[in-house]
Amino acid sequence: MIRNWQDLTSLLKETFSLSGDLLSVLFLIGIQESGEGFRHFTQQEKTDLVKLGKYTLLSRAGYYKKMEVPGKVPFFIPLPTREPPADQEVLGELLKQECIRYFNEHLTVDL
């Protein structure tokens, strides 16, 4: 079980040689959610995958609704009842906690 951000980033550094920053983790989640797997991505594709990772986590936290579209990457609709934190530091901490939850649900790892 991943207990904190340090555990998660250490695991990802070992496994995928990723840096321990939030954008790298969002990128990895975006790849997973897109179903494309690892390959060479253009800069625009990388940006889109980071956004996909971010909105996937925010939808899991109850800020967006995930809309599945057959054969396409899902898109997200903001929920009128909740807005994500405007403060970037608070938003970053929320996303880090959601990353930990995401990986705990998707990985079978004991640290």
> For residue 100, is pLDDT > 80?
yes
> For residue 74, is pLDDT > 90?
no
Query: What's the domain count of the chain?
Result: 1
Which residue segment(s) compose the domain that 61 sits in? 5-106
Establish if 111 belongs to a structural domain.
Answer: no
Q: What is the mean predicted confidence (pLDDT) over 86-106? A: 96
Establish if 98 belongs to a structural domain.
Answer: yes
Quickly state the pLDDT bin for 24 (edges 50, 70, 90): very high
Query: What pLDDT does residue 111 have?
Result: 44
Establish if 59 belongs to a structural domain.
Answer: yes
Average pLDDT, the chain: 91
Establish if 54 belongs to a structural domain.
Answer: yes
Strands (E) across the chain are located at 64-67, 75-78
Query: What pLDDT does residue 15 have?
Result: 87
Establish if 27 belongs to a structural domain.
Answer: yes
| Cβ–Cβ < 8 Å for 53, 28 | yes
Residue range 28-39, pLDDT digits in tens: 999 999 988 889
